[in-house]
Structure 1
């Protein structure tokens, strides 16, 4: 396994991040344990989850599964750089009018304590805002996170789904308080979703924010079976989308066959090429799927292959404003 620093922090994480959103939904607890054990054995030390994972009526279930896995001991907790998130509605009647999605200091405190209980740990290495909340001031946000960092309950703060301007604002406000600020941004990024190259990735790179790519296979469209419903991934809900992309997906499949690599692994390896990228999130449902992704860090894409991928999946043309102005 390869490792890199998480943004400008001194924390090293694996270049593959284990996503756990399927745990308790499409993946039962026993299989989730097998995947997490295999991840640790393979050197994957970066695990990502969220308090809302588990689905409607079962929010928190994924964190509970991870917590019970930690409780087995054997150094499991100590070997993991744990990331979770706050923002969503946890369906807790005690939250009252504050149950709605958001990032108030009240909500951060309550939901952090609940996550710690479910995860059966006293600290979280990376606590991420699952979405931007522009109705809450940075005065409130940075003070709330500062308190929990000083208490030792969280190590670093990350964001998710932030626009470039939100990253800049967050770091400006943090710097004015002599505070580290964001060390990571979790963002949707794939061969089929390259819009972040305009603003988000350049901003992250300039401010030393490590990017974690979510949905790097675009819901399974880049997984290799999207055009074959009989064999297709269960995460591909909309066959119409696959049909609309048929030409691209067929060309991509042809290229991958020439390389002797699976479509999924090439798509994942491509995300690692960008200098702002820390790790793509892999979301295996089975141990076999997890094991098949370990090769990603060994795949080297040549300049010619990258050029062909650009032809198949055109990006925005570069960063802003060069992509659209003289």
Structure 2
């Protein structure tokens, strides 16, 4: 496994992030533990979760699965850079939503950290991430809450998720004015088929020294060989992948993508990950394996060397938006 610095920090993380959103809803606890064991054996030290993960098994369930794994010994917790998130309401579906039980008020941040620490069975969270922007809470209040938690030793760093470029700037300019470190990472939707982050989010992250952590690197399976599997009689894809394939232009691009990689003898999913690892500012794409085999495929992508010729061909199939503001103003 290769390692790199997380943005401008001194923290070293693996070039892949283990995403855990499937743990609980799609992968049971025993298999989740097996995947985490395999990830650690492969050298992946960056694990990402969120307090709301769990879905039909109950919000918080994913953090609980990580917590029971941490108690298994072998220095697991010390080897892992642990990231979780705060924003969403933790009540069960259909329950009344009490005020101050979601978003980024100082009150909810304090409550949510303590609840996550309990579920994760740890005394600290390495990277505490804001899952979404909160238009009602000023960054002065958010950073005050973060500073308290850092002094208490409950968190070490703060990161963002799904922030637009201007909010990254606002957050870090406020932190700078208050004498704080500010955001150190940004999780964003970024892959070959969805490159809008290149216009402002990635440039803002790079200018402010944030590590970019792309989520959905296969765009919901769209870049993982979906058309070939369909041709082999596999069950038709759903979700984001199905919606994108319903667009004739996108379907043609995916077909061209799969044909190109077939000529090179390369696996589409591994190339999609390897491409992200060539992008400026990208630290570690999030992979969310449901099985150990899917994890093995992701690990192989780290050692995959894409030629300049292949990279140029991928750009032709999935052209990016171009730099901002030139791409829309000139």
Gap change, CA 1:235 and 1:60, over 3 Å in 2: farther
Separation (CA, whole Å) in 2 of partners of 1:302 and 1:210: 25
Matched with 1:89 is 89
Q: Which runs of 5+ in 2 are unaligned?
A: none
Of 266, 280, 283, the match for 2:271:
266
Verify the 8 A CA contact 1:220 1:236 in the aligned structure 2: no
Verify the 8 A CA contact 2:221 2:241 in the aligned structure 1: no
Matched with 1:167 is 168
Verify the 8 A CA contact 1:35 1:290 in the aligned structure 2: yes
C-alpha deviations, 1:99-118, integer Å up to 9, x for none? 3x411111101011000000
SS where residue 96 of structure 1 aligns? coil
C-alpha deviations, 1:200-232, integer Å up to 9, x for none? 111111111100000111111111125644425
The CA deviation at 1:241 is 2.6
SS where residue 257 of structure 2 aligns? helix
Q: Structure 1 stretch 48-57 or stretch 172-181: which is displaced more?
A: 48-57
Q: Which runs of 5+ in 1 are unaligned?
A: none
Separation (CA, whole Å) in 2 of partners of 1:94 and 1:71: 34
Q: Given the two structures, how large is their TM-score scaled by the length of structure 1?
A: 0.95
The CA deviation at 1:177 is 1.1
The CA deviation at 1:307 is 1.4
User: What is the aligned length?
Assistant: 324
SS where residue 72 of structure 1 aligns? coil
Matched with 1:284 is 289
Separation (CA, whole Å) in 2 of partners of 1:305 and 1:271: 13
Separation (CA, whole Å) in 2 of partners of 1:207 and 1:191: 24
Q: Structure 1 stretch 171-180 or stretch 51-60: which is displaced more?
A: 51-60
Separation (CA, whole Å) in 1 of partners of 2:201 and 2:170: 13
Gap change, CA 1:17 and 1:235, over 3 Å in 2: farther
The CA deviation at 1:48 is 0.3
Matched with 1:321 is 325
The CA deviation at 1:322 is 2.0
Q: Given the two structures, how large is their TM-score scaled by the length of structure 2?
A: 0.94
The CA deviation at 1:236 is 4.5
Matched with 2:219 is 218
The CA deviation at 1:178 is 1.3
The CA deviation at 1:260 is 2.0
Gap change, CA 1:236 and 1:183, over 3 Å in 2: same
Matched with 1:107 is 108
C-alpha deviations, 1:246-275, integer Å up to 9, x for none? 211111111112232211111111111122
The CA deviation at 1:56 is 4.7
Matched with 1:184 is 185
Matched with 1:29 is 29
The CA deviation at 1:94 is 9.8
Q: Is 1:8–2:8 an aligned residue pair? A: yes
Gap change, CA 1:125 and 1:256, over 3 Å in 2: same
Matched with 2:55 is 55
Matched with 2:300 is 295
Verify the 8 A CA contact 2:227 2:255 in the aligned structure 1: no
Separation (CA, whole Å) in 2 of partners of 1:72 and 1:113: 21
SS where residue 328 of structure 2 aligns? coil
Matched with 2:131 is 130
Gap change, CA 1:233 and 1:144, over 3 Å in 2: farther
Gap change, CA 1:71 and 1:96, over 3 Å in 2: same
Verify the 8 A CA contact 2:220 2:241 in the aligned structure 1: no
Matched with 2:311 is 306
RMSD after superposition: 1.7
